[in-house]
Amino acid sequence: MSYKDGYTVAVLGATGAVGRAMLETLERRDFPVRELRALASPKSAGQQLTYKGETVTVEAVSEASFKGVDIALFSAGATTSLEWAPKAVEQGAVVIDNSSAYRMTDGVPLVVPEVNPHAAKAHKGIIANPNCSTIQLMVALSPLRSIGLEHVTVSTYQAVSGMGQKAIDALKREVENGDTEGTLFPVASGTNHYPMAFNVLPQCDVFVEDGYTKEEMKLVNESRKILELKELRVSPTAVRVPVVYGHSESVSVRLNRPVTAAEVRSILAEAPGVVVVDDPLRGLYPHPLMAVGTGDTYVGRIRRDLFDDRTIWMFVVADNLLKGAAWNAVQIAELLITR
């Protein structure tokens, strides 16, 4: 994609939690935007957002919205992506889609720029942004591929912002007013709803098969596609906690040979997108509030399993709206452009 005087960028779902973060990230990373189009459903049209100090008025998405667009960042849910991505591509845009709609589709690259930037080149108009909990896991695991990944286990501590702005608002209401009669957690479509304030819910997204949730199966299937390891074993447990921003993951990884924590720490310290914070005796390790507002993945509590010299445990934290969504999407866009 050649640089003229910048690129025309559309953001579909601009008023959502991730959409707003996309605008912020384009600005923070000084993406060469010639023209910005903030798009959303008709009911959000007319809302005003800010980009580089200027007001941007949200337009209702239509086929005309994508005329002349170079890059379209989508974050408006899978149904919207399935409807609008082909139309945007037809108009000549490259769509970077944050929904799950195309992630496992053959021929659609699923990209974490620190991990598989080469995959982006093979796109046919659509590039998928992985799920939030997968992205940070990939940034932390990919550098260890040189040793050989045998088995990964992950238990997550996921922030409510992964469910969008309405979940952020709902948690705040629960905490402030004790209003726990909401019908949003764990999922709006569920038959049972539970309080999220001061609670932990071992369900993210809906259940799909054999007792696993869709979120858990994303950790398995997306990891395999991104790492290009079709047989990789990932054992997932996805859990929602009363945190607003920032996903945490308790991860074990069994490698193909014995390793020390020091070796893993030194590999990760050199890895792109990783910040090692690991000095427990000084009280230093990652936690969600440390990651908020950044595009990095924080790794700490790096230690060898007490009994298996091939297994390393670590605690992996990132801002789920940034590295887990908007930041990663803008990084993908940067792979497509020249400055």
Interface residue with a copy of itself among 257, 282, 338, 339 (CB under 8 A) is 282
Q: 5: which residues sit within 8 A by CB, 6+ positions away? A: 34
Establish whether 177 is an annotated binding residue: no
Nearer to a copy of itself (CB atom), residue 33 or residue 227: 227
Interface residue with a copy of itself among 63, 83, 179, 305 (CB under 8 A) is 305
Shortest separation between residue 191's beta carbon and a copy of itself, angstroms: 5
Interface residue with a copy of itself among 42, 148, 178, 202 (CB under 8 A) is 202
Tell me, residue by residue from 154 to 193, as one string, x for binding to a copy of itself by CB under 8 A and - for no binding. Answer: -x-x-----------------x----------x---xxxx
How many degrees, rounded to 5, is the angle at CA 243 between CA 239 and CA 249? 45
With CB under 8 A as the contact rule, which of the stretches 47-55, 85-93, 108-116, 294-302 interacts with a copy of itself?
A: 294-302
C-alpha 227: how far from chain center: 16
Indicate if 132 belongs to the active site. yes
Nearer to a copy of itself (CB atom), residue 127 or residue 144: 144
- CA dist 143 and 307 (Å) reads 23
Closest CA to 132 of 319, 336, 338, 334: 319
**Residue 2 burial (CB < 10 Å; 0-12/13-18/19+)?**
exposed
Interface residue with a copy of itself among 177, 210, 230, 338 (CB under 8 A) is 210
Placement of tokens 């384009």 in the chain: 26
3-class DSSP string for 218-238: HHHHHHHHHHCCCCCEEEEEC
- CA dist 71 and 89 (Å) reads 9
Q: What share of the chain is helix, strand, coil (3-state, %, to 5)?
A: 35, 25, 40
Tell me, residue by residue from 216 to 245, as one string, x for binding to a copy of itself by CB under 8 A and - for no binding. Answer: ----x------------xxx-x-x-xxxxx
Indicate if 204 belongs to the active site. no
Shortest separation between residue 134's beta carbon and a copy of itself, angstroms: 15
Chain residues binding a copy of itself by CB under 8 A are: 151, 153, 155, 157, 175, 186, 190-195, 198-203, 207, 210-213, 220, 233-235, 237, 239, 241-246, 248, 250, 252, 261, 280-289, 300-308, 311, 313, 315, 317
